[in-house]
Amino acid sequence: MSENLSRTVFRNEVLAMSAYKVADAKNLIKLDAMENPYNWPEHVIDQWLQTIKSCPINRYPDPQAKKLAATLKKVNQIPQDSDMLLGNGSDEIIQILLMALTPGATVMAPEPGFVMYKQIAQSLGLNYQGVPLHTDDFALDLSAMLKMIEQHQPAVIFLAYPNNPTGNLFAAEDIRQILDSAPGLVVIDEAYAPFTDASFIDKLAQYPNLLVMRTLSKLGLAGLRLGFLAGAPELIEQLHKIRLPYNINSLTQMTAEFALNNIEFLQQQTNTICQQRSQVFEQLNALQGIKALPSSANFILFKTENKPADAIFHSLQQQGILIKNLSPQGGALSNCLRVTIGKEEENRAFIEALTSTLNAAD
């Protein structure tokens, strides 16, 4: 009976979807979720615990998180004439933005890209249009993008910069042409900003249709679930009408404020991750049958040329290493795997396990 009821009350778009699944990483080296692998230093933890002692958890949080927003604006060098929307991670921000669109509006993004653009758009009954990237280097197919923009007149275009899951930066000039051609909003998703110097935040005043989205998850605060969207006040004002009150809890506000005011240790960790990324990239490309793609993020996408990616993924899992198997998505991601950059010893264990897998007889 419950199955019949679900088909009666839920939209066909929802019934046709699959839930986003997170792999069980128990007893495994977790290199699948683009997290910062480093804990906070003990003395920083002690200072943080002293800080949150005063958190008034019996009261509702500041609904606008004004103090935290001001700190985010300063740390991220957001222009003074831009406004901000804070969300429970980037996912909530994407959801708020897409909920504000007119029914049946078109949402566009390159593919492969961040899966939540499509997932949330379809869950809201919007018209999602993916535009394939070039298959050789995952660069933007600018001519295809411009043609699709002209044809579908999207209300929102998402551009991950660097892109997930490929790790590359799209050409800045291509993005500028998209900004000039788009009839609606263009969201530059800079989730991996800590690992690259490239950004469009300083272009916010130049393009009235530009919104820049960032998260603190990749910096090392994934457990807080905090992201923000910056752009013209006239645009952000409309999104605040949809944002649920008190969406950023008191502990998140206080902890993020503390972390941003003591950001040096997080920046040091980020620098270490970037150094390790270079080493892992070289080690991957030194392996027979592996082609790693250059990355500006905290992960590396690599193609398997001699053995199926599925088999390599399962072999690594049996050896205690969990990475991301993208091959089931098919298309340009066939025989592709993605590894998050971990601690030095975790990266070494990954390379050793991968080498053992590649050398094993079929």
Q: What is the pLDDT of residues 260-285, one digit of tens each?
A: 999 999 999 999 999 999 999 999 99
- pLDDT category of residue 6 using cuts at 50, 70 and 90: confident
- pLDDT category of residue 295 using cuts at 50, 70 and 90: very high
Domain 19-34+265-359 bears CATH identifier 3.40.1180.10: no
Is residue 252's pLDDT more than 90?
yes
- pLDDT average, residue stretch 128-143: 95
Q: 3-state DSSP call for residue 226?
A: coil
pLDDT of residue 199: 97
Q: Which CATH number fits domain 56-261: 3.50.50.60, 2.60.40.3710, 3.20.10.10, 3.40.640.10?
A: 3.40.640.10
pLDDT of residue 361: 58
pLDDT of residue 15: 83
CA–CA dist 86, 66 (Å, integer) = 10
Number of H-type helices and E-type strands within the chain: 13, 13
Q: What is the pTM of this model?
A: 0.94
pLDDT of residue 5: 79
- pLDDT average, residue stretch 292-307: 96
Which has the closest alpha carbon to 159: 148, 169, 151?
169
Q: To which residue do tokens 């800590």 refer?
A: 194
- pLDDT category of residue 306 using cuts at 50, 70 and 90: confident
Q: What is the mean pLDDT of the chain?
A: 95
CA–CA dist 281, 293 (Å, integer) = 8
- Range(s) of the chain covered by CATH 3.40.640.10: 56-261
% the chain with pLDDT above 90: 90
Query: Which helix (DSSP H) or strand (DSSP E) does residue 83 occupy?
Result: strand 83-87
Is residue 18's pLDDT more than 90?
no
- pLDDT average, residue stretch 317-338: 95
Q: What is the pLDDT of residues 215-246, one digit of tens each?
A: 999 999 999 999 999 999 999 999 999 999 99
One-letter amino acid for residue 242 of the chain: I
Token reading at 52: 């949150």
Q: Mind spelling out the 3-state secondary structure of 170-201? A: CCHHHHHHHHHHCCCEEEEECCCHHHCCCCCH
pLDDT of residue 362: 58
CA–CA dist 170, 335 (Å, integer) = 22
Please answer whether residues 293 and 138 qualify as being in contact, where contact means their C-beta atoms are separated by less than 8 angstroms. Answer: yes
- Nearest 5°: phi and psi at 190? -105, 50
Which has the closest alpha carbon to 301: 327, 339, 268?
339
Is residue 169's pLDDT more than 80?
yes
- How many other C-beta atoms lie within 10 A of the C-beta of residue 262? 15
Q: 3-state DSSP call for residue 9?
A: helix
pLDDT of residue 27: 81
- Range(s) of the chain covered by CATH 3.90.1150.10: 19-34+265-359
The full DSSP string for 261-301 is: HTTHHHHHHHHHHHHHHHHHHHHHHTSTTEEEPP-SSSEEE
**What does the angle CA 355 – CA 359 – CA 360 come to, to the nearest 5 degrees?**
115
The full DSSP string for 151-166 is: HH--SEEEEESS-TTT
DSSP 332: G
Please answer whether residues 143 and 38 qualify as being in contact, where contact means their C-beta atoms are separated by less than 8 angstroms. Answer: no
Q: What is the pLDDT of residues 72-83, one digit of tens each?
A: 999 999 999 999
- pLDDT category of residue 1 using cuts at 50, 70 and 90: low
